[in-house]
Amino acid sequence: MRAAIAQAEVGDDVYGEDPTVAALEAKVADLFGFEAALFVPTGVMANHIALRMQLPAGSELVADADAHILAHEDAGLAWHGGIQTRTALTPDGLLTPEDVSRLIRPHLPHTLGTGAVELENTHNRGGGSVYTIERLRAIRAIADERGVSVHIDGARIWNAHVATGTPLREYGAVADTMSVCLSKGLGAPVGSVALLKPQQRAQAVLMRHRLGGGWRQAGMLAAAGIYALDHHVDRLAEDHANARLLAAALREAGLSVRDPQTNIVLVDVPDAPALAARAARRNVRISAFGPALLRLVTHLDVTEKDCVAAAQVLAHVA
Ligand SMILES: Cc1ncc(COP(=O)(O)O)c(C=O)c1O
């Protein structure tokens, strides 16, 4: 990846002149069957721009209550976009077709109707939980029936693809817009892609610039993304196997572990911040995801051996 970065052909992307950025955007669009894509610095910005393309200020978005866009994006949609959300709590972060049907409201003289539905796949706070393609299609059908668009936060869509074998284009086919991340499990240092309709792209470029995300010789980062797509997708199966191994070892040690579906392991503990701090002192870095919830993530920089060692440390400090 470092070599690909060094060799990247670059230009000024603010002027649309960076050939490596153009190649990355074309590649990701093609993978998901979209006609337009925009390379942006972060997943937060990709979600933000894609959703703003569908939702003018004063409109409503349906999402699950634990969605990344609500829990971890600092109210950006409300702050910058004037978008309100209508949510439901779910056990695993995944909305059912029934949830969506109930949450979507029609426009009436005295009722703000729903403009779009947001689905996160895999779901971060849900412990890497995965939508089946059948459930996504059922939600898409309801959205179509009710005249509402669908955005997929696919920061970890690659994990969903590897875990289920669902082709990326089938995910693309159920979404009006998507965001996908090249960092995180794919291992690029930075970068996400917003997948859009062709008529949205010029407006999306403007919004990226307005948010301070217009970048110049970004081809070096795009080259890392292309490398990640070519070399780091199939290997996500190793991260999933490591997550299962970690979960089994922690359960064996008596901890209350939720079954991992992909590369995220959630552990219910009495005092998560204290436990995370004790593990950190032994060089195992774990997120306290709530007062009583730990999140462990497997990725291309941790080996099976690391996972065994981490489980021993966590079992010990717990
Ligand atoms: C589901 C989901 N969406 C979006 C993001 C945002 O990505 P970034 O940190 O690149 O802004 C994250 C980050 O963890 C995420 O988990």
User: By alpha-carbon position, which residue is closest to atom 3 of ligand 1?
Assistant: 155
Asked if the domains at 2-231 and 236-317 fall in one CATH topology, the answer is: no
Q: What's the pLDDT tens digit per position in 46-76? A: 999 999 999 999 999 999 999 999 999 999 9
How many angstroms does the Cα of residue 114 sit away from the middle of ligand 1?
A: 24
Answer yes or no: is the C-beta of 44 below 6 A from any ligand 1 atom: yes
Atom of ligand 1 nearest to the CA of 73: 6
User: What one-character-per-residue DSSP string does 65-129 give?
Assistant: TT-HHHHSSTTHHHHHH--EEEEE--SSSPPPHHHHHHH----BTTBPPEEEEEEESSBTTTTSB
d(CA 65, CA 266): 18
Domain ranges of the chain: 2-231, 236-317
Q: 253-278: per-residue pLDDT in tens? A: 999 999 999 999 999 999 999 999 99
Q: What is the pLDDT of residues 161-212, one digit of tens each?
A: 999 999 999 999 999 999 999 999 999 999 999 999 999 999 999 999 999 9
Task: Check: CB of residue 127 under 8 Å from CB of residue 263.
Answer: no
As assigned by CATH, the class of the 2-231 domain is alpha beta
H helix intervals, 157-235? 157-164, 168-173, 201-210, 219-231
Q: How far apart are CA 201 and CA 236, in angstroms?
A: 30
CB 79 within 8 A of CB 73: no
pLDDT of residue 228: 98
Q: Number of C-alpha atoms within 13 angstroms, CB side, residue 212? A: 3
- 171-184 pLDDT, tens digit per residue, is 999 999 999 999 99
pLDDT computed for residue 66 by the predictor: 97
> How far does the centroid of ligand 1 lie from the alpha carbon of residue 180, in Å?
9
pLDDT given at position 172: 98
3-class DSSP assignment, residue 5? helix
- Please tell me the predicted confidence (pLDDT) of residue 143: 98
- Mean pLDDT in the chain? 97
Atom of ligand 1 minimally distant from the CA of 47? 4
Q: Best substitution site from 44, 92, 121 to test ligand 1's pocket, by max atoms within 8 Å of Cβ? A: 44
149 C-beta closer than 6 A to ligand 1: no
159 lines ligand 1 (CB under 6 A): no
276 lines ligand 1 (CB under 6 A): no
Fold (CATH) for 236-317: Aspartate Aminotransferase, domain 1 (3.90.1150)
Q: Which atom, in ligand 1's list, is nearest to the CA of 123?
A: 1
Atom from ligand 1 closest to the CA of residue 120: 1
